[in-house]
Amino acid sequence: MSIPTTPRTAGPLAGTLVVDLSRALAGPHAGQMLGDQGARVIKVETPGSGDDSRSWGPPFVGPEEQPESTYFLSCNRNKESIALDLKSEDGKEVLTGLVRRADVLIENFRTGVLERLGFSTAALMELNPRLVVLSITGFGHDGPEAARAGYDQIAQGEGGLMSLTGSGPGDMQRVGVPIADLLAGIHGAYGVLAALLERERTGRGKIVRTSLIAGMVGVHAFQGTRATVAGMTPEPGGNHHATLAPYGLFSCRDGAVQISVGNEKMWTRFCEAFGLDPAAPGFEDNGSRFAHRDRLIEVIEGVFADYDGEELLAKLDAAGIPAGVVRTLPEVYAWDQALSQGLKITAEHTSAGSIDLPGPPLRFFDATEAGERETTVTEHLAPPRLSEHESVIRSWLED
């Protein structure tokens, strides 16, 4: 049965149906990513209260009798909502109908919950052998700690990211966004797309599993190999790079700028621009500069003290040194470059009216003889009110 026409008919995933049983952030973020690219995403919520994040505030927006959590708004655009009691016969019947029609099902229940509701992975695949199931947990679906509940800050700590983040050794800090949740969602969406591609060859669906901990370990990058290969225990390095120097945030006369000197040619150009000796004792190469980083920072900030930020950025640019400022979020969403990339969108919300939201991070183009033609989805649905689309969804299932 074809998916009924909705306001969103474009995008690489147009015609794909996603049933999103998840709540909070990791699963909803994965579903939002799929919805951004044209999939029809039906969000199944708890009657009465809905997704947990609907109550996560302040801040709230909209009328007092229908407040909307800005947290919920951040991860549920391009979705429809229906509220189902999955312990009831009606809820089970509706979900069964959705599963039979779906391409993808997303869930982030604790291990065993779906089975107790009668929707084990075996049951899901029996209902729909082409179904791709994305399951996101806190610590993985198996192993000695599989039963632990997954919350972002705990995962940041358990997964090692907090041990790398902070002003210096002994000052461990969480990342300023729920990065464990977000990365689990991103990895989950990536896994779903791989499984859908494989389905084109095999005709069968797949179970995709990831976790908050997996997302944390998956971004250790060079810090991970410092531990596994070099036998080191990396520590927080503040606003300066763990292996390169100079690379970080430096004070100037009216604030601070960031610079990234990534090779010796850049170091030479940097020194020439500011009257420094690139071969000064202790600064001859990156290893030496890193070993004497405190003195290096002192020298550079002494030079930068003669410049205001804007003047300094112009001088760095002329020398070919990558540099930038630290923007507040309101500054980011007012920035011409961010706007040019579609990183802020406007959508019409049922109760809150016109709202600005962070935009999708991907753009798509067709290559033609006349040049590239952008095909990025630009029309987006605002996050739904609880059960806003129940009558539409039920009517469709009855067809």
Per-residue pLDDT reduced to its tens digit, 53-112:
999 999 999 998 889 999 999 999 999 999 999 999 999 999 999 999 999 999 999 888
Cα R_g (the chain), whole angstroms: 25
Tokens of 4: 């009924």
When pLDDT is averaged across residues 28-53 and rounded to a whole number, the result is 97
The answer to the question of residue 171 being in a domain is yes
Q: Do 214 and 251 have their domain in common?
A: no
Distance in angstroms (rounded) separating the CA atoms of residues 163 and 237? 10
Look at residue 1 in the predicted model and tell me its pLDDT: 36
With DSSP H G I counted as helix, E B as strand and the rest as coil, what are the percentages for the chain, rounded to 5? 40, 20, 45
Q: Is 353 left (phi over 0), alpha (psi -120 to 50) or beta?
A: left
Domain around 272? 247-324
Distances (CA, A) of 59 to 29, 71, 276, 305: 20, 8, 49, 39
β-strand pairing of 323-324 with 255-260: antiparallel
Q: Which of 324, 351, 376 is where one domain is finished? A: 324
Confidence of residue 383 (pLDDT cuts 50, 70, 90): very high
Q: Are 261 and 267 in contact (CB under 8 A)?
A: yes
The domain boundary, picked from 324, 348, 370, lies at: 324
214-255 per-position pLDDT tens digit:
999 999 999 999 999 999 999 999 999 999 999 999 999 999
Q: Is 140 left (phi over 0), alpha (psi -120 to 50) or beta?
A: left
- pLDDT score, position 8: 59
Count of domains for the chain: 2
Same domain, 34 and 154: yes
Same domain, yes or no, for 192 and 252?
A: no
- Confirm whether pTM is higher than 0.85: yes
Instruction: State whether 208 and 270 are in the same domain.
Output: no
Q: Say whether both 50 and 191 belong to one domain.
A: yes
pLDDT, tens digit, 9 for 90 and up, residues 286-339: 999 999 999 999 999 999 999 999 999 999 999 999 999 999 999 999 999 999
Burial of 151 (0-12, 13-18, 19+ CB in 10 A): middle
Catalytic annotation present for 181: yes
Identify residue 234 by its one-letter amino acid code. P
Active site residue: 20, 51, 152, 181, which one?
181
Q: How far apart (Å, rounded) are the C-alpha atoms in residues 28 and 107? A: 9
Inter-residue contact 19 to 103 (CB < 8 Å): no
Instruction: State mean pLDDT over 153-171.
Output: 95
